[in-house]
Chain A
Amino acid sequence: MISYLARRVAIVLVSLFGASVVVFAVLGILPGSPAQVILGTQATPQAVRQLSAQLGTNKPLWVQYLHWAHGLLLGQLGRSYVSQQPIGPQIARALTVTGPLVLFALVIGALVALPLGLGAALYNGKVSGTFLGALSQVGIAVPTFVGGILLIIVFAVALPVFPSSGFPGWSQPGQALRSLVLPAITLGLVEGAILSRYVRASVLDQLHSDYLRTARSKGLSRAQALWHHGMRNAMVPLVTVLGLELAALIVGAIIVENVFSLPGVGQLLLNAVDNRDLLVVQDIVILVAAVVLVINLLVDLSYHLLDPRVRDEGQR
Protein backbone atom coordinates (compact mmCIF):
# COMPACT_ATOMS: atom_id res chain seq x y z
CA MET A 1 0.00 0.00 0.00
CA ILE A 2 2.78 2.43 0.95
CA SER A 3 4.77 1.75 -2.21
CA TYR A 4 1.60 2.04 -4.25
CA LEU A 5 0.79 5.34 -2.59
CA ALA A 6 4.33 6.57 -3.20
CA ARG A 7 4.10 5.61 -6.87
CA ARG A 8 0.78 7.36 -7.33
CA VAL A 9 1.99 10.52 -5.60
CA ALA A 10 5.14 10.47 -7.74
CA ILE A 11 3.00 10.26 -10.89
CA VAL A 12 0.94 13.23 -9.71
CA LEU A 13 4.09 15.24 -9.03
CA VAL A 14 5.52 14.42 -12.46
CA SER A 15 2.21 15.36 -14.09
CA LEU A 16 2.10 18.57 -12.11
CA PHE A 17 5.61 19.44 -13.19
CA GLY A 18 4.67 18.70 -16.79
CA ALA A 19 1.53 20.78 -16.46
CA SER A 20 3.46 23.73 -15.04
CA VAL A 21 5.93 23.60 -17.94
CA VAL A 22 3.06 23.46 -20.43
CA VAL A 23 1.25 26.40 -18.86
CA PHE A 24 4.41 28.44 -18.64
CA ALA A 25 5.44 27.64 -22.20
CA VAL A 26 2.03 28.39 -23.67
CA LEU A 27 1.81 31.75 -21.94
CA GLY A 28 5.48 32.45 -22.57
CA ILE A 29 5.08 32.42 -26.35
CA LEU A 30 2.96 35.54 -26.08
CA PRO A 31 4.31 38.34 -28.27
CA GLY A 32 5.16 41.55 -26.40
CA SER A 33 6.63 41.62 -22.93
CA PRO A 34 4.42 42.10 -19.87
CA ALA A 35 6.17 45.41 -19.23
CA GLN A 36 5.13 46.62 -22.68
CA VAL A 37 1.56 45.55 -21.98
CA ILE A 38 1.50 47.34 -18.63
CA LEU A 39 3.00 50.59 -19.87
CA GLY A 40 1.11 50.64 -23.15
CA THR A 41 2.41 51.38 -26.64
CA GLN A 42 3.32 54.97 -25.78
CA ALA A 43 6.02 53.96 -23.29
CA THR A 44 9.67 54.67 -24.02
CA PRO A 45 11.90 51.64 -24.62
CA GLN A 46 13.91 52.69 -21.60
CA ALA A 47 10.89 52.63 -19.30
CA VAL A 48 9.94 49.20 -20.65
CA ARG A 49 13.46 47.89 -20.04
CA GLN A 50 13.44 49.28 -16.55
CA LEU A 51 10.09 47.71 -15.68
CA SER A 52 11.17 44.43 -17.28
CA ALA A 53 14.19 44.33 -15.02
CA GLN A 54 11.98 45.13 -12.06
CA LEU A 55 9.52 42.35 -12.93
CA GLY A 56 12.28 39.92 -13.82
CA THR A 57 10.80 39.36 -17.26
CA ASN A 58 14.04 40.31 -19.02
CA LYS A 59 15.72 37.13 -17.82
CA PRO A 60 15.84 33.93 -19.92
CA LEU A 61 12.59 31.96 -19.90
CA TRP A 62 14.00 29.04 -17.95
CA VAL A 63 15.17 31.36 -15.19
CA GLN A 64 11.75 32.91 -15.08
CA TYR A 65 10.20 29.44 -14.92
CA LEU A 66 12.44 28.38 -12.04
CA HIS A 67 11.64 31.59 -10.21
CA TRP A 68 7.91 31.03 -10.66
CA ALA A 69 8.04 27.34 -9.75
CA HIS A 70 10.17 28.07 -6.70
CA GLY A 71 7.62 30.63 -5.56
CA LEU A 72 4.75 28.18 -6.09
CA LEU A 73 6.46 25.56 -3.97
CA LEU A 74 6.86 28.10 -1.17
CA GLY A 75 3.25 29.19 -1.56
CA GLN A 76 4.27 32.58 -2.94
CA LEU A 77 2.19 33.29 -6.00
CA GLY A 78 3.86 36.60 -6.85
CA ARG A 79 2.41 39.99 -7.60
CA SER A 80 0.03 40.87 -10.38
CA TYR A 81 1.79 42.68 -13.25
CA VAL A 82 -1.24 44.91 -13.64
CA SER A 83 -2.48 45.81 -10.18
CA GLN A 84 0.83 45.18 -8.40
CA GLN A 85 -1.18 43.41 -5.71
CA PRO A 86 -0.01 40.07 -4.28
CA ILE A 87 -1.90 37.28 -6.05
CA GLY A 88 -2.22 34.82 -3.16
CA PRO A 89 -4.67 36.89 -1.09
CA GLN A 90 -6.71 37.70 -4.21
CA ILE A 91 -7.18 34.01 -4.94
CA ALA A 92 -7.92 33.30 -1.29
CA ARG A 93 -10.62 35.98 -1.28
CA ALA A 94 -12.11 34.60 -4.51
CA LEU A 95 -12.13 31.11 -3.01
CA THR A 96 -14.51 32.27 -0.28
CA VAL A 97 -17.05 32.60 -3.08
CA THR A 98 -16.05 29.71 -5.36
CA GLY A 99 -15.56 27.19 -2.55
CA PRO A 100 -19.05 27.44 -1.05
CA LEU A 101 -20.54 27.61 -4.55
CA VAL A 102 -18.89 24.35 -5.61
CA LEU A 103 -19.77 22.54 -2.39
CA PHE A 104 -23.34 23.77 -2.54
CA ALA A 105 -23.55 22.59 -6.16
CA LEU A 106 -21.98 19.22 -5.32
CA VAL A 107 -24.70 18.58 -2.73
CA ILE A 108 -27.44 19.64 -5.14
CA GLY A 109 -25.87 17.51 -7.88
CA ALA A 110 -25.82 14.43 -5.65
CA LEU A 111 -29.40 15.04 -4.53
CA VAL A 112 -30.46 15.20 -8.16
CA ALA A 113 -28.30 12.38 -9.48
CA LEU A 114 -28.90 9.62 -6.93
CA PRO A 115 -32.70 9.43 -7.06
CA LEU A 116 -32.80 10.13 -10.79
CA GLY A 117 -30.19 7.49 -11.68
CA LEU A 118 -31.51 4.93 -9.21
CA GLY A 119 -35.04 5.37 -10.50
CA ALA A 120 -33.97 5.13 -14.12
CA ALA A 121 -32.13 1.87 -13.36
CA LEU A 122 -34.82 0.24 -11.22
CA TYR A 123 -37.55 1.05 -13.72
CA ASN A 124 -35.32 0.26 -16.69
CA GLY A 125 -37.37 -0.96 -19.63
CA LYS A 126 -40.55 0.55 -18.22
CA VAL A 127 -42.09 3.86 -19.25
CA SER A 128 -41.13 5.60 -16.00
CA GLY A 129 -37.50 4.47 -16.33
CA THR A 130 -37.29 5.72 -19.89
CA PHE A 131 -38.81 9.03 -18.80
CA LEU A 132 -36.24 9.48 -16.02
CA GLY A 133 -33.46 8.55 -18.44
CA ALA A 134 -34.72 11.08 -20.96
CA LEU A 135 -34.93 13.74 -18.25
CA SER A 136 -31.24 13.38 -17.47
CA GLN A 137 -30.45 13.38 -21.18
CA VAL A 138 -32.23 16.72 -21.49
CA GLY A 139 -30.36 18.07 -18.47
CA ILE A 140 -27.02 17.21 -20.03
CA ALA A 141 -27.79 19.07 -23.23
CA VAL A 142 -28.53 22.36 -21.44
CA PRO A 143 -25.31 24.38 -21.19
CA THR A 144 -24.71 25.85 -17.73
CA PHE A 145 -24.89 29.41 -18.99
CA VAL A 146 -28.22 28.78 -20.72
CA GLY A 147 -29.58 27.07 -17.61
CA GLY A 148 -28.39 29.99 -15.51
CA ILE A 149 -30.03 32.53 -17.78
CA LEU A 150 -33.29 30.59 -17.74
CA LEU A 151 -33.22 30.59 -13.94
CA ILE A 152 -32.53 34.32 -13.96
CA ILE A 153 -35.48 34.89 -16.30
CA VAL A 154 -37.81 32.91 -14.04
CA PHE A 155 -36.55 33.62 -10.50
CA ALA A 156 -34.99 37.04 -10.84
CA VAL A 157 -36.82 38.81 -13.67
CA ALA A 158 -40.32 37.30 -13.72
CA LEU A 159 -40.51 36.49 -10.00
CA PRO A 160 -37.91 38.60 -8.22
CA VAL A 161 -37.07 36.05 -5.49
CA PHE A 162 -33.31 35.85 -5.86
CA PRO A 163 -30.77 38.39 -7.04
CA SER A 164 -29.79 37.98 -10.70
CA SER A 165 -26.16 38.91 -10.18
CA GLY A 166 -23.52 40.15 -7.78
CA PHE A 167 -22.35 39.12 -4.34
CA PRO A 168 -22.62 41.31 -1.23
CA GLY A 169 -19.80 39.62 0.68
CA TRP A 170 -19.92 37.38 3.72
CA SER A 171 -20.43 40.29 6.10
CA GLN A 172 -24.10 39.83 5.21
CA PRO A 173 -24.36 36.02 5.43
CA GLY A 174 -28.07 35.87 4.59
CA GLN A 175 -27.76 38.00 1.47
CA ALA A 176 -24.57 36.19 0.48
CA LEU A 177 -26.25 32.77 0.68
CA ARG A 178 -29.25 34.06 -1.22
CA SER A 179 -27.07 35.23 -4.08
CA LEU A 180 -25.43 31.79 -4.26
CA VAL A 181 -28.73 29.91 -4.56
CA LEU A 182 -29.36 30.34 -8.28
CA PRO A 183 -25.72 29.78 -9.31
CA ALA A 184 -25.48 26.62 -7.20
CA ILE A 185 -28.76 25.27 -8.57
CA THR A 186 -27.58 25.98 -12.12
CA LEU A 187 -24.33 24.17 -11.60
CA GLY A 188 -25.81 21.36 -9.51
CA LEU A 189 -28.67 20.58 -11.87
CA VAL A 190 -26.47 20.24 -14.92
CA GLU A 191 -23.78 18.23 -13.18
CA GLY A 192 -26.42 16.16 -11.43
CA ALA A 193 -27.94 15.24 -14.78
CA ILE A 194 -24.55 14.02 -16.02
CA LEU A 195 -23.87 12.17 -12.80
CA SER A 196 -27.26 10.45 -12.91
CA ARG A 197 -26.26 8.71 -16.16
CA TYR A 198 -23.38 7.08 -14.34
CA VAL A 199 -25.52 6.22 -11.33
CA ARG A 200 -27.97 4.52 -13.69
CA ALA A 201 -25.28 2.55 -15.53
CA SER A 202 -23.60 1.56 -12.31
CA VAL A 203 -26.81 0.37 -10.64
CA LEU A 204 -27.83 -1.50 -13.81
CA ASP A 205 -24.48 -3.30 -13.72
CA GLN A 206 -25.19 -4.35 -10.18
CA LEU A 207 -28.72 -5.46 -10.99
CA HIS A 208 -27.36 -7.81 -13.65
CA SER A 209 -24.54 -9.21 -11.53
CA ASP A 210 -24.39 -12.86 -10.51
CA TYR A 211 -23.87 -12.11 -6.85
CA LEU A 212 -27.03 -10.07 -6.73
CA ARG A 213 -28.81 -13.16 -8.05
CA THR A 214 -27.13 -15.19 -5.31
CA ALA A 215 -28.35 -12.68 -2.76
CA ARG A 216 -31.85 -13.06 -4.16
CA SER A 217 -31.51 -16.86 -4.01
CA LYS A 218 -30.91 -16.46 -0.27
CA GLY A 219 -34.32 -14.85 0.05
CA LEU A 220 -33.51 -11.15 -0.04
CA SER A 221 -35.99 -9.00 -1.90
CA ARG A 222 -34.80 -7.02 -4.89
CA ALA A 223 -34.50 -3.84 -2.86
CA GLN A 224 -32.71 -5.58 0.04
CA ALA A 225 -30.31 -7.34 -2.29
CA LEU A 226 -29.51 -4.09 -4.04
CA TRP A 227 -29.05 -2.23 -0.79
CA HIS A 228 -26.89 -4.81 0.98
CA HIS A 229 -24.93 -6.18 -1.97
CA GLY A 230 -25.17 -3.70 -4.80
CA MET A 231 -24.47 -0.39 -3.13
CA ARG A 232 -20.90 -0.88 -2.11
CA ASN A 233 -20.01 -2.22 -5.52
CA ALA A 234 -21.92 0.55 -7.20
CA MET A 235 -19.97 3.02 -5.08
CA VAL A 236 -16.67 2.15 -6.73
CA PRO A 237 -17.47 3.59 -10.16
CA LEU A 238 -19.53 6.32 -8.53
CA VAL A 239 -16.59 7.66 -6.58
CA THR A 240 -14.70 8.10 -9.83
CA VAL A 241 -17.58 9.98 -11.29
CA LEU A 242 -18.02 12.08 -8.19
CA GLY A 243 -14.36 13.02 -8.42
CA LEU A 244 -14.67 13.89 -12.09
CA GLU A 245 -17.79 15.85 -11.22
CA LEU A 246 -15.95 17.85 -8.61
CA ALA A 247 -13.36 18.70 -11.24
CA ALA A 248 -16.14 19.57 -13.69
CA LEU A 249 -17.85 21.72 -11.06
CA ILE A 250 -14.70 23.73 -10.49
CA VAL A 251 -14.47 24.41 -14.20
CA GLY A 252 -18.22 24.93 -14.48
CA ALA A 253 -17.96 27.51 -11.72
CA ILE A 254 -15.80 29.65 -14.04
CA ILE A 255 -18.76 30.00 -16.40
CA VAL A 256 -21.47 30.25 -13.76
CA GLU A 257 -19.60 32.98 -11.89
CA ASN A 258 -19.55 34.89 -15.12
CA VAL A 259 -23.30 34.41 -15.66
CA PHE A 260 -24.12 35.69 -12.17
CA SER A 261 -21.20 38.15 -11.85
CA LEU A 262 -19.85 36.46 -8.73
CA PRO A 263 -16.37 37.61 -7.64
CA GLY A 264 -14.94 34.08 -7.54
CA VAL A 265 -11.86 32.43 -8.94
CA GLY A 266 -13.45 32.13 -12.36
CA GLN A 267 -14.09 35.82 -12.62
CA LEU A 268 -10.60 36.58 -11.35
CA LEU A 269 -9.21 34.32 -14.08
CA LEU A 270 -11.30 35.84 -16.85
CA ASN A 271 -10.49 39.40 -15.78
CA ALA A 272 -6.84 38.45 -15.78
CA VAL A 273 -7.17 37.08 -19.30
CA ASP A 274 -8.87 40.31 -20.40
CA ASN A 275 -6.16 42.44 -18.79
CA ARG A 276 -3.37 40.16 -20.01
CA ASP A 277 -2.37 39.75 -16.39
CA LEU A 278 -0.37 36.64 -17.23
CA LEU A 279 1.02 35.72 -13.85
CA VAL A 280 -2.49 35.59 -12.40
CA VAL A 281 -3.62 33.38 -15.29
CA GLN A 282 -0.59 31.11 -14.83
CA ASP A 283 -1.17 30.78 -11.11
CA ILE A 284 -4.87 30.05 -11.32
CA VAL A 285 -4.54 27.58 -14.20
CA ILE A 286 -1.81 25.60 -12.47
CA LEU A 287 -3.74 25.61 -9.20
CA VAL A 288 -6.89 24.30 -10.89
CA ALA A 289 -4.82 21.65 -12.70
CA ALA A 290 -3.25 20.67 -9.37
CA VAL A 291 -6.68 20.35 -7.76
CA VAL A 292 -7.88 18.18 -10.65
CA LEU A 293 -4.82 15.92 -10.36
CA VAL A 294 -5.21 15.60 -6.61
CA ILE A 295 -8.90 14.78 -6.97
CA ASN A 296 -7.96 12.04 -9.45
CA LEU A 297 -5.41 10.72 -6.97
CA LEU A 298 -7.97 10.64 -4.17
CA VAL A 299 -10.41 8.81 -6.43
CA ASP A 300 -7.75 6.19 -7.17
CA LEU A 301 -7.00 5.75 -3.51
CA SER A 302 -10.68 5.46 -2.62
CA TYR A 303 -10.88 2.35 -4.83
CA HIS A 304 -8.59 0.74 -2.36
CA LEU A 305 -10.87 1.42 0.51
CA LEU A 306 -13.96 0.22 -1.33
CA ASP A 307 -12.81 -2.79 -3.33
CA PRO A 308 -10.81 -5.48 -1.52
CA ARG A 309 -9.63 -6.94 -4.83
CA VAL A 310 -7.90 -3.75 -5.91
CA ARG A 311 -6.62 -3.31 -2.35
CA ASP A 312 -4.72 -6.59 -2.60
CA GLU A 313 -3.33 -5.82 -6.03
CA GLY A 314 -1.90 -2.62 -4.60
CA GLN A 315 -0.09 -4.54 -1.90
CA ARG A 316 1.68 -6.75 -4.33
Chain B
Amino acid sequence: MTVVVVEAAGARSRAGLWRWARNPSAVVGGTLVGLVVLTALVSLVWTPYPPLAVDPSHTLARPSWAHLFGTDEYGRDVLSRVMAGSRISLYAGVVSVLVATAVGVPAGLLAAERGGIPAQVVLRLSDILYAFPALLAAITLSAALGASTTTAMLAIGIAFIPVFVRVTRSNALVVLGSDYVLAARAYGRRPLAILRRHVLPNIATTVIAQMSLLFSLAILAEAGLDYLGLGTTPPTASWGNMIETGQTYLSQDPLLSVWPGIAIFVAVLGFTLLGEGIAELRNARLGRSA
Protein backbone atom coordinates (compact mmCIF):
# COMPACT_ATOMS: atom_id res chain seq x y z
CA MET B 1 0.00 0.00 0.00
CA THR B 2 2.69 2.45 1.04
CA VAL B 3 4.73 1.51 -1.99
CA VAL B 4 1.83 2.34 -4.27
CA VAL B 5 1.36 5.72 -2.65
CA VAL B 6 5.04 6.59 -2.94
CA GLU B 7 5.08 5.48 -6.54
CA ALA B 8 2.05 7.59 -7.32
CA ALA B 9 3.63 10.64 -5.72
CA GLY B 10 6.84 10.03 -7.66
CA ALA B 11 4.93 9.71 -10.90
CA ARG B 12 3.08 12.89 -10.18
CA SER B 13 6.15 14.97 -9.53
CA ARG B 14 7.78 13.49 -12.63
CA ALA B 15 4.69 14.43 -14.63
CA GLY B 16 4.92 17.90 -13.10
CA LEU B 17 8.53 18.25 -14.16
CA TRP B 18 7.62 17.05 -17.63
CA ARG B 19 4.86 19.65 -17.90
CA TRP B 20 7.36 22.32 -16.88
CA ALA B 21 9.87 21.08 -19.40
CA ARG B 22 7.30 21.28 -22.19
CA ASN B 23 6.15 24.82 -21.41
CA PRO B 24 8.38 27.10 -23.49
CA SER B 25 7.62 30.24 -21.42
CA ALA B 26 8.58 28.48 -18.20
CA VAL B 27 11.76 26.99 -19.68
CA VAL B 28 13.07 30.15 -21.35
CA GLY B 29 11.96 32.34 -18.43
CA GLY B 30 13.46 30.02 -15.86
CA THR B 31 16.75 29.85 -17.77
CA LEU B 32 17.07 33.63 -18.11
CA VAL B 33 16.16 34.18 -14.45
CA GLY B 34 18.70 31.51 -13.51
CA LEU B 35 21.33 33.30 -15.57
CA VAL B 36 20.68 36.63 -13.86
CA VAL B 37 20.62 35.10 -10.38
CA LEU B 38 23.82 33.19 -11.10
CA THR B 39 25.51 36.36 -12.34
CA ALA B 40 24.51 38.19 -9.19
CA LEU B 41 25.83 35.35 -6.99
CA VAL B 42 29.12 35.15 -8.90
CA SER B 43 29.55 38.92 -8.72
CA LEU B 44 29.52 38.66 -4.93
CA VAL B 45 32.79 36.75 -4.97
CA TRP B 46 34.30 37.48 -8.36
CA THR B 47 34.19 40.05 -11.13
CA PRO B 48 36.87 40.44 -13.83
CA TYR B 49 37.89 43.77 -12.26
CA PRO B 50 36.64 45.56 -9.17
CA PRO B 51 33.52 47.39 -10.44
CA LEU B 52 34.74 50.67 -8.95
CA ALA B 53 38.40 50.43 -10.05
CA VAL B 54 39.27 53.50 -12.10
CA ASP B 55 41.88 53.32 -14.88
CA PRO B 56 42.51 56.80 -16.36
CA SER B 57 44.74 55.38 -19.11
CA HIS B 58 41.95 53.20 -20.55
CA THR B 59 38.83 55.36 -20.66
CA LEU B 60 36.04 54.61 -23.13
CA ALA B 61 37.92 51.58 -24.49
CA ARG B 62 36.22 49.45 -27.12
CA PRO B 63 35.51 45.79 -26.27
CA SER B 64 38.67 43.68 -26.23
CA TRP B 65 39.87 40.45 -24.64
CA ALA B 66 41.02 42.40 -21.60
CA HIS B 67 37.67 44.22 -21.29
CA LEU B 68 34.96 42.16 -23.00
CA PHE B 69 32.37 44.95 -22.79
CA GLY B 70 34.96 47.76 -22.96
CA THR B 71 35.49 50.44 -20.32
CA ASP B 72 33.54 53.51 -19.29
CA GLU B 73 34.50 57.17 -19.03
CA TYR B 74 36.63 56.49 -15.93
CA GLY B 75 38.20 53.38 -17.41
CA ARG B 76 36.09 51.06 -15.24
CA ASP B 77 35.41 47.61 -16.64
CA VAL B 78 31.83 47.58 -18.03
CA LEU B 79 31.37 43.81 -17.74
CA SER B 80 32.24 43.94 -14.04
CA ARG B 81 29.83 46.82 -13.56
CA VAL B 82 27.02 45.04 -15.42
CA MET B 83 27.61 41.99 -13.20
CA ALA B 84 27.56 44.09 -10.06
CA GLY B 85 24.48 45.91 -11.32
CA SER B 86 22.52 42.66 -11.38
CA ARG B 87 22.67 42.64 -7.56
CA ILE B 88 20.95 46.03 -7.33
CA SER B 89 18.23 44.99 -9.77
CA LEU B 90 17.51 41.69 -8.03
CA TYR B 91 17.67 43.30 -4.60
CA ALA B 92 15.23 46.00 -5.70
CA GLY B 93 12.95 43.40 -7.22
CA VAL B 94 12.94 41.21 -4.12
CA VAL B 95 12.33 44.02 -1.64
CA SER B 96 9.64 45.83 -3.60
CA VAL B 97 7.74 42.65 -4.45
CA LEU B 98 7.95 41.49 -0.83
CA VAL B 99 6.67 44.86 0.42
CA ALA B 100 3.77 44.70 -2.02
CA THR B 101 2.96 41.06 -1.20
CA ALA B 102 3.25 41.47 2.55
CA VAL B 103 0.74 44.30 2.57
CA GLY B 104 -1.40 43.52 -0.46
CA VAL B 105 -2.19 39.85 0.14
CA PRO B 106 -3.43 40.19 3.75
CA ALA B 107 -5.41 43.29 2.78
CA GLY B 108 -6.97 41.45 -0.14
CA LEU B 109 -7.84 38.48 2.10
CA LEU B 110 -9.40 40.82 4.64
CA ALA B 111 -11.49 42.51 1.97
CA ALA B 112 -12.65 39.16 0.62
CA GLU B 113 -13.42 37.53 3.98
CA ARG B 114 -15.00 40.47 5.78
CA GLY B 115 -16.84 42.34 3.03
CA GLY B 116 -18.82 45.37 4.12
CA ILE B 117 -17.04 48.37 5.56
CA PRO B 118 -13.57 46.80 5.96
CA ALA B 119 -13.68 45.77 2.31
CA GLN B 120 -14.77 49.26 1.26
CA VAL B 121 -11.96 50.84 3.26
CA VAL B 122 -9.35 48.51 1.79
CA LEU B 123 -10.63 48.96 -1.73
CA ARG B 124 -10.81 52.76 -1.48
CA LEU B 125 -7.29 52.96 -0.06
CA SER B 126 -6.15 50.67 -2.83
CA ASP B 127 -7.90 52.91 -5.37
CA ILE B 128 -6.03 55.91 -4.02
CA LEU B 129 -2.71 54.12 -4.34
CA TYR B 130 -3.74 52.94 -7.78
CA ALA B 131 -3.85 56.56 -8.91
CA PHE B 132 -0.08 56.72 -8.35
CA PRO B 133 1.75 54.72 -10.98
CA ALA B 134 4.97 53.20 -9.61
CA LEU B 135 7.20 55.78 -11.22
CA LEU B 136 5.13 58.72 -9.99
CA ALA B 137 5.08 57.32 -6.46
CA ALA B 138 8.83 56.88 -6.60
CA ILE B 139 9.39 60.41 -7.87
CA THR B 140 7.27 61.80 -5.05
CA LEU B 141 9.03 59.73 -2.45
CA SER B 142 12.50 60.55 -3.66
CA ALA B 143 11.56 64.23 -3.73
CA ALA B 144 10.78 63.85 -0.03
CA LEU B 145 13.48 61.45 1.10
CA GLY B 146 16.22 62.02 -1.45
CA ALA B 147 17.43 59.62 -4.12
CA SER B 148 18.53 56.16 -2.98
CA THR B 149 17.98 52.52 -3.81
CA THR B 150 15.88 52.14 -0.66
CA THR B 151 13.56 55.00 -1.60
CA ALA B 152 13.08 53.55 -5.05
CA MET B 153 12.31 50.03 -3.76
CA LEU B 154 9.93 51.28 -1.13
CA ALA B 155 8.03 53.47 -3.57
CA ILE B 156 7.75 50.71 -6.17
CA GLY B 157 6.61 48.25 -3.50
CA ILE B 158 3.92 50.61 -2.25
CA ALA B 159 2.74 51.34 -5.77
CA PHE B 160 2.32 47.59 -6.44
CA ILE B 161 0.17 46.97 -3.35
CA PRO B 162 -3.16 47.56 -5.13
CA VAL B 163 -2.31 44.90 -7.73
CA PHE B 164 -1.98 42.26 -5.01
CA VAL B 165 -5.09 43.50 -3.23
CA ARG B 166 -7.13 43.05 -6.39
CA VAL B 167 -5.66 39.72 -7.45
CA THR B 168 -5.93 38.26 -3.95
CA ARG B 169 -9.43 39.51 -3.33
CA SER B 170 -10.94 38.37 -6.61
CA ASN B 171 -9.34 34.93 -6.38
CA ALA B 172 -10.18 34.55 -2.70
CA LEU B 173 -13.81 35.47 -3.37
CA VAL B 174 -14.07 32.59 -5.81
CA VAL B 175 -12.65 30.13 -3.27
CA LEU B 176 -14.76 31.54 -0.44
CA GLY B 177 -17.88 31.06 -2.55
CA SER B 178 -17.15 27.40 -3.21
CA ASP B 179 -19.07 24.50 -1.78
CA TYR B 180 -16.18 23.09 0.22
CA VAL B 181 -15.69 26.36 2.06
CA LEU B 182 -19.40 26.40 2.77
CA ALA B 183 -19.03 22.90 4.15
CA ALA B 184 -16.05 23.92 6.26
CA ARG B 185 -18.08 26.85 7.61
CA ALA B 186 -20.95 24.53 8.39
CA TYR B 187 -18.54 22.42 10.43
CA GLY B 188 -17.69 25.53 12.39
CA ARG B 189 -14.18 26.20 11.13
CA ARG B 190 -12.89 29.62 12.11
CA PRO B 191 -12.37 32.17 9.32
CA LEU B 192 -8.59 32.23 9.85
CA ALA B 193 -8.41 28.46 9.60
CA ILE B 194 -10.44 28.56 6.39
CA LEU B 195 -8.16 31.20 4.94
CA ARG B 196 -5.10 29.16 5.83
CA ARG B 197 -6.37 25.74 4.83
CA HIS B 198 -8.51 26.50 1.79
CA VAL B 199 -7.94 29.98 0.43
CA LEU B 200 -4.17 30.41 0.62
CA PRO B 201 -3.25 27.10 -1.04
CA ASN B 202 -5.73 27.84 -3.82
CA ILE B 203 -4.54 31.33 -4.61
CA ALA B 204 -0.84 30.65 -4.02
CA THR B 205 0.05 29.87 -7.64
CA THR B 206 -1.77 32.92 -8.94
CA VAL B 207 -0.03 35.13 -6.40
CA ILE B 208 3.36 33.62 -7.23
CA ALA B 209 2.77 34.14 -10.96
CA GLN B 210 1.85 37.74 -10.21
CA MET B 211 4.95 38.15 -8.07
CA SER B 212 7.12 37.04 -10.95
CA LEU B 213 5.42 39.45 -13.37
CA LEU B 214 5.71 42.34 -10.92
CA PHE B 215 9.31 41.41 -10.26
CA SER B 216 10.02 42.22 -13.90
CA LEU B 217 8.09 45.49 -13.63
CA ALA B 218 10.02 46.34 -10.44
CA ILE B 219 13.32 45.83 -12.24
CA LEU B 220 12.10 48.08 -15.05
CA ALA B 221 10.87 50.76 -12.66
CA GLU B 222 14.00 50.70 -10.51
CA ALA B 223 16.22 50.95 -13.57
CA GLY B 224 14.06 53.83 -14.76
CA LEU B 225 14.48 55.65 -11.47
CA ASP B 226 18.22 55.08 -11.52
CA TYR B 227 18.27 56.40 -15.07
CA LEU B 228 16.41 59.54 -13.95
CA GLY B 229 18.87 59.94 -11.08
CA LEU B 230 16.21 59.26 -8.44
CA GLY B 231 17.33 55.81 -7.33
CA THR B 232 20.73 54.24 -6.99
CA THR B 233 23.30 56.99 -7.46
CA PRO B 234 26.82 56.69 -8.88
CA PRO B 235 29.44 55.46 -8.26
CA THR B 236 27.51 52.33 -7.21
CA ALA B 237 26.93 50.39 -10.42
CA SER B 238 23.33 49.91 -11.42
CA TRP B 239 22.02 49.16 -14.88
CA GLY B 240 19.87 52.29 -14.91
CA ASN B 241 22.58 54.77 -13.92
CA MET B 242 25.07 53.11 -16.28
CA ILE B 243 22.69 53.79 -19.15
CA GLU B 244 22.31 57.38 -17.99
CA THR B 245 26.05 58.06 -17.98
CA GLY B 246 26.44 56.05 -21.18
CA GLN B 247 24.01 58.37 -22.94
CA THR B 248 26.42 61.26 -22.41
CA TYR B 249 29.05 59.41 -24.45
CA LEU B 250 26.65 58.15 -27.08
CA SER B 251 28.57 59.58 -30.03
CA GLN B 252 31.93 58.26 -28.77
CA ASP B 253 30.83 54.80 -27.63
CA PRO B 254 27.21 53.84 -28.23
CA LEU B 255 27.79 50.39 -26.73
CA LEU B 256 28.24 51.88 -23.27
CA SER B 257 24.45 52.20 -22.84
CA VAL B 258 23.68 49.08 -24.81
CA TRP B 259 25.32 46.53 -22.46
CA PRO B 260 23.28 47.40 -19.36
CA GLY B 261 20.27 47.76 -21.68
CA ILE B 262 20.70 44.15 -22.76
CA ALA B 263 21.04 43.12 -19.12
CA ILE B 264 17.72 44.77 -18.21
CA PHE B 265 16.12 43.18 -21.24
CA VAL B 266 17.27 39.70 -20.24
CA ALA B 267 16.15 40.07 -16.63
CA VAL B 268 12.76 41.57 -17.48
CA LEU B 269 12.08 39.03 -20.22
CA GLY B 270 13.07 36.22 -17.86
CA PHE B 271 10.76 37.19 -15.03
CA THR B 272 7.85 38.02 -17.37
CA LEU B 273 8.11 34.67 -19.13
CA LEU B 274 8.50 32.80 -15.86
CA GLY B 275 5.37 34.46 -14.49
CA GLU B 276 3.42 33.64 -17.63
CA GLY B 277 4.72 30.10 -17.59
CA ILE B 278 3.51 29.62 -14.01
CA ALA B 279 0.11 31.05 -14.89
CA GLU B 280 -0.16 28.84 -17.99
CA LEU B 281 0.77 25.72 -16.03
CA ARG B 282 -1.79 26.59 -13.40
CA ASN B 283 -4.48 27.10 -16.02
CA ALA B 284 -3.53 23.86 -17.72
CA ARG B 285 -3.83 22.03 -14.41
CA LEU B 286 -7.29 23.46 -13.89
CA GLY B 287 -8.21 22.38 -17.40
CA ARG B 288 -8.58 25.88 -18.75
CA SER B 289 -7.06 26.99 -21.98
CA ALA B 290 -4.38 29.61 -21.62
Contacts and interface: CB of A to CB of B under 8 A. Distances in A.
B261 A153 contact: no
A1 B133 CA distance: 29
A145 B227 contact: yes
Contacts of A314: none
A35 B165 CA distance: 40
A143 B265 CA distance: 7
B140 A26 contact: yes
Contacts of B97: none
Interface stretch (B8-16, B37-45, B72-80, B121-129): B121-129
A206 to B, nearest CB: 13
B136 A137 contact: no
Which secondary structure dominates chain B's binding surface?
helix
Nearest to A281: B143
B139 A137 contact: no
B143 A273 contact: yes
A107 interface: no
Nearest to B269: A141
Contact of A270 (B127, B131, B139, B243): B139
A290 B130 CA distance: 11
A142 B262 CA distance: 8
Interface stretch (A69-77, A233-241, A246-254): A246-254
Contacts of B143: 27, 30, 272-273, 276, 278, 281
B254 interface: yes
Contact of A146 (B127, B142, B265): B265
A26 B144 contact: yes
B94 interface: no
B57 interface: no
A141 B272 contact: yes
Given A248-B133, A254-B139, A292-B133, A146 B124 contact: no
A157 interface: yes
B124 to A, nearest CB: 6
Contact of B220 (A137, A143, A152, A293): A143
Contact of B131 (A19, A152, A276, A281): A19
A26 B142 CA distance: 10
A26 B154 CA distance: 13
Contacts of A16: 131
A273 B143 CA distance: 5
B37 to A, nearest CB: 17
A285 B261 contact: no
B20 interface: no
A270 B225 CA distance: 11
A23 B140 contact: yes
A273 B273 CA distance: 35
Interface string A137-164: 1101111111001101100010000001
B268 interface: yes
B95 interface: no
A208 interface: yes
Interface string B215-236: 0100010011001111000000
Contacts of B178: none
A108 interface: no
A11 B227 contact: no
17 contacts: A15-B128, A30-B143, A137-B273, A143-B227, A143-B265, A143-B268, A146-B261, A153-B250, A254-B139, A254-B228, A255-B224, A255-B228, A272-B143, A273-B142, A285-B132, A285-B139, A292-B131
Interface of B: 124-125, 127-128, 130-133, 135-136, 139-144, 216, 220, 223-224, 227-230, 240, 243, 246-247, 250-251, 254, 257-258, 261, 264-266, 268-269, 272-273, 289
